[in-house]
Amino acid sequence: MEQRRYPGHNHWFYESQTSPRTSQAAPLVPEAAHINDRFLLGLQQEAHALQSLLHVNQPALLAARDLSQVLFPASLTPTLSHTLTLYDRLSTALTVAQVAGVQRLCNHYSARLNPLPGPDSSRESNNRLTQITQYARQLAMQPELINAASITALDVVGLSEPDIVTLNQLIGFVCYQARVVAGLHALHGSPVRWLPGIPLPPDAGSAGFGQAQRWQPTLKPLELRYASAEQLAAITLCQPYHELTEAKWLLAHDPAALYGWIILRQRLETQQFNQLAQAACARILGSRWAFQHFPQAEALIASVDEAVSDEEQRQIVTLAAQLTRVPERFSAAQLQPLMNRGWKMETLFALIQSVALSNWNSRLYYALGEAR
């Protein structure tokens, strides 16, 4: 992984995202592009002590692996309604990985992006990629920065409604992936390695939390008369989730991503203690609509860090907050308080996955239905 520090920009950039050149520099870890499991990215081969844990969670991990193939296939042919190229997708994934600061993801997406031809040098193409990158960085770092104008800006540079839905899904997926990988690193006791240069964004403001919220799509949802068989199948799979009554018709613009997302949700076991962690994620990221589904967590509205008096619940919230805010610094130290209480690795990993999925959901709900 090659890094450049640019004056005036408080971010690290990879060579594959800098100005074009006649001779493309090879990534520092080229083998990271050739990994069979493009979700855990080789972690299962290295973390021998976690094999039993990974085996127990195989159904959810396989669903996540399938999603990675859907969102980042080996090859992709754009169409009139789905214009995102593979370069667009991998460049966006690399941007999100950089924000998360998880080295394993940065290596993988940088290595996959490196050999691909970038967009042409026209002003329109440059504006398009710049807008996509800016949007991805904002949604990954501080979702509350996203508003209706952010969505309109994507439309102005030529992204279709299916493109925008897919873009939000893949940003959410990489946010989820980064936190699962960071959590497994912590469970394995791996040393923490993080990139400097990205400041910690503030939590979302407290205004609007605790009030009844309605989810309203920021884009035009799919109409039933135009729905394909694949889209109808994905919508049917959403039926048990009443909170998706409005969202499913919008998310059906990308039926493969919607189908995979629902399958993953079904395979992740939901436990009572996870709800407090999910509420903490929604509060930090600003998803007021998602937060209202956890009424027992109203104490988090004023402050996530000082809201809970019960010691065990406070430790759960602290873990969720650390993994949400700074996954690159998440380590075994954040797991130790709960381990001292007798928590097993299986329970801890269930909590980690719940926090990771809530990071995806909160961003998706906010950008596509709450941004004003």
Do the Cβ atoms of 189 and 284 come closer than 8 Å?
A: no
Rg, Å, the chain Cα set: 20
DSSP per position, 109-135 = HHHHHTTS----SSHHHHHHHHHHHHH
Q: What percentage of the chain reaches a pLDDT higher than 90? A: 75
The CATH number linked to 326 is 1.20.1290.10
Q: How many CA atoms lie within 13 A of 332 on its CB side?
A: 8
Residues in the chain: 372
Under-70 pLDDT residues of the chain:
1-28, 193-198, 270-272
Query: How much is the pLDDT for 228?
Result: 97
322 part of a folded domain = yes
3-state secondary structure of 370: helix
The CA distance from 160 to 80, in Å, is: 9
Q: 3-class DSSP state for residue 12?
A: strand
User: Per the domain annotation, does 290 fall within a domain?
Assistant: yes
Residue 191 in domain:
no
Listed in sequence order, the residues at least 6 apart from 312 whose beta carbon sits closer than 8 Å to its beta carbon are 338, 341
The SS3 call for residue 247 is helix
111, 142 Cβ separation under 8 angstroms: no
Residue 307 lies in a domain: yes
What is the maximum span of the chain, computed from C-alpha positions, in angstroms? Answer: 60
- Chain centroid to Cα 110, Å, comes to 17
**What is the model's pLDDT at position 46?**
85
Place of tokens 């006649």: 22
Q: What are phi and psi of 13, to 5 degrees?
A: -125, 145
Q: How many structural domains are present in the chain?
A: 1
Note down the domain range covering 244. 224-370
* Within a domain: 254: yes
Any domain includes 90? no
Q: What is the dihedral of CA 349, 354, 359, 361, to 10 degrees?
A: 150
359, 181 contact by CB (below 8 A): no
In a domain, 296, yes or no: yes
Cα separation, 302 vs 361, whole angstroms: 22
Quote the pLDDT of residue 327: 95
Residue 335 CB neighbours (<10 A) = 22
Instruction: Write down the pTM of the prediction.
Output: 0.91
